[in-house]
Amino acid sequence: MTDMHQLPDDLIAEMTAKARTAARILAQADDATKAAALVAAAAALRRDADTILAANAQDMEAGAKAGLSAAMLDRLKLDQKRISAVADAIDQVAVLEDPVGQLIDSRTQPNGLVMRRVRIPVGVLGIIYESRPNVTADAAALGLRAGNAVLLRGGSEAVHSNRAIHKAMVSGIVTAGLPADAVQLVPTQDRAAVGAMLRAQGAIDMIIPRGGKSLVARVQDEARVPVLAHLDGINHSYVHKDADPAMATAIIVNAKMRRTGVCGATETLLIHQDYPASAELISALLETGCEVRADDALMEPDPRTVSADDADWDTEYLDSVISARLVAGLDDAMDHIARHGSHHTDAIITRDDQVAARFLAEVDSAIVMHNASTQYADGGEFGLGAEIGIATGRLHARGPVALEGLTTYKWLVHGQGQTRP
């Protein structure tokens, strides 16, 4: 058993050595075995739901005493419905097509060599995350399904929830004959353990941070291991002058207020200056309890708005707050997004398909939408099952990262005795 009182570097070295051994087993595990392990893990979550909820209650109580915001507490909270949803998501991952071994392409060279490119697991994944205990289950399921060993380091806010979820899942995984070390949870909340993971070049193959800006920034700044991440979710919804008012209102209210604490929530509303129902749109947001921080043009018709300052255009609120401004048109909207966006998710609401086509082609984000809520920025909604996160970089994977994003590839070369001249 891992000793939580070890020095962080020694602790992570021991855990990654176990993970590497498990990764070799997982890489050779067949599809049925990995699927059975996840079905058993999902069943264990349902079986142990009361234990998990009791652990979550401890975290919720501690979070409230620590002054966590309502949005942060929402991210932390579990109930029977959310546990069932987590278990259901694992079951969905279990029935997804196994990416390992998939043929990406094949070619036969003039000299007769046959070269095949096939998907393989990345190896050992390090997941560093905050607040949301469901990440413990999502990360474990996706990593294992793609043949990877997973090293989890959750935030102190969800420490009891994470331990209960991890214990339940491992109890299911081992019944399918896979090693318990396939999914490990770092047993200490010492921040030095994060640093040890970030320095574990060669022991951890890829780090995926899930959390606030300070965590992701630290990981990106300090990691000696490849990182798959997004720093912010400063998402924009642009209402063009030709948008259907009823559709626009429904989409914007949902995009902001469905769940304010998720990374797909709209944080900035851009409205074409000739859109005829801007006042009604702002009013609809205000009536849901959303604070609207507006530019002068939008403040004038509704005194309930608050004046926006320069910092608002660069803020991910993760709360019932939205910044809003009028723009001169499509180019002005796209310029604003280019200056202030985070390349996560941006949407346009319009009945003009040509305008929408320009927006979709020119906005440089991982997810770009037309006439849909940015809250759909979620791997489950993309048919990918549970996602491990949304990546906004340009290397390896972009957008919702699920099974395929947790694999790499290798070349298999078949010859008949060829030697190179």
CATH number at residue 362: 3.40.309.10
Residue 218 lies in a domain: yes
Q: Mark whether 146 and 31 lie in a shared domain.
A: yes
Q: Please, how many CA atoms are within 13 Å of residue 139, restricted to the half-sphere of its CB? A: 32
Question: Are 183 and 246 in a shared domain?
Answer: no
Do 246 and 298 belong together in one domain?
yes
Look at strands 266-272 and 235-239 and give their pairing. parallel
Q: What is the mean pLDDT of residues 43-59?
A: 98
Give the DSSP per-residue string, 323-369: EEEEESSHHHHHHHHHHH--SSEEEEE-S-HHHHHHHHHH--SSEEE
Does residue 59 form part of some domain?
Answer: yes
- Indicate whether 397 pLDDT > 90: no
**158 within 8 A of 164, measured Cβ to Cβ:** no
**58 falls within a domain:** yes
- Is 421 inside any structural domain? no
Local confidence band at 407 (pLDDT 50, 70, 90 cut-offs): very high
> How many structural domains comprise the chain?
2
* Strands 114-121 and 103-108, sheet pairing: antiparallel
Q: Helix, strand, coil: what percent of the chain each, to 5?
A: 45, 20, 35
Predicted local confidence at residue 5, as pLDDT: 65
pTM flag (> 0.75): yes
Phi-psi region of 288 (alpha: psi -120 to 50; beta: other; left: phi over 0): alpha
Residues 241, 171 within the same domain: no
Q: Per-residue pLDDT tens for 357-367? A: 999 999 999 99
How confident is the model over 81-126, as pLDDT tens digits?
999 999 998 998 999 999 999 999 999 999 999 999 999 999 999 9
Q: Is the dihedral of CA 360, 363, 369, 373 positive or negative?
A: negative
The pLDDT score that the predictor gives to residue 253 is 98
Q: How far apart are CA 235 and CA 368, in angstroms?
A: 10
Angle at 90 between CA 44 and CA 267, to 5 degrees: 125
Query: 280-329: per-residue pLDDT in tens?
Result: 999 999 999 999 999 999 998 899 999 999 999 999 998 999 999 999 99
pLDDT at 2: 57
CATH number of the domain encompassing residue 54? 3.40.605.10
Q: Domain check: are 223 and 254 in the same one?
A: no
Structure tokens given for 164: 């209960």
What is residue 263's predicted lDDT score, i.e. its pLDDT?
87
Whether residue 3 has pLDDT greater than 60:
no
In this predicted model, what pLDDT tens digit does every residue of 162-204 receive, in sequence order?
A: 999 999 999 999 999 999 999 999 999 999 999 999 999 999 9
Query: Are 176 and 254 members of one domain?
Result: no
User: What's the whole-number average pLDDT of the chain?
Assistant: 94
Residue 385 located in a structural domain? no
Residues above pLDDT 70, as percent of the chain: 98
d(CA 2, CA 407): 28
Write out pLDDT tens, residues 117-155.
999 999 999 999 987 899 999 899 999 999 999 999 999
Count of CB atoms within 10 A of residue 410's CB?
Answer: 9
Structural domain span for residue 87: 8-230+393-414
Q: Grade residue 4 by pLDDT with cuts at 50, 70 and 90.
A: low
- Give the chain's length: 421
Q: Is residue 382 in some structural domain?
A: no
Specify whether 198 is located in the same domain as 250.
no
**The predicted structure's pLDDT at residue 322:** 98
- Residue 385 banded pLDDT, cuts 50, 70, 90: low
> Does residue 275 share a domain with residue 135?
no
- 226 with 239, same domain: the answer is no
- pLDDT band for position 386 (cuts 50, 70, 90): low
DSSP β-ladder status, 321-327 and 266-272: parallel
| 62 and 204 share one domain | yes
CA–CA separation, 247 vs 265, rounded Å? Answer: 17
Cα–Cα nearest to 195, from 216, 215, 217, 223:
223
Regarding whether 127 and 86 lie in a shared domain, the answer is: yes
In a domain, 303, yes or no: yes
- Tokens at 136, concatenated: 């413990």
- Does a structural domain hold residue 1? no
Under a CB-based contact definition with an 8 Å cutoff, are residues 204 and 151 in contact? Answer: yes
On whether both 248 and 226 belong to a single domain, the answer is: no
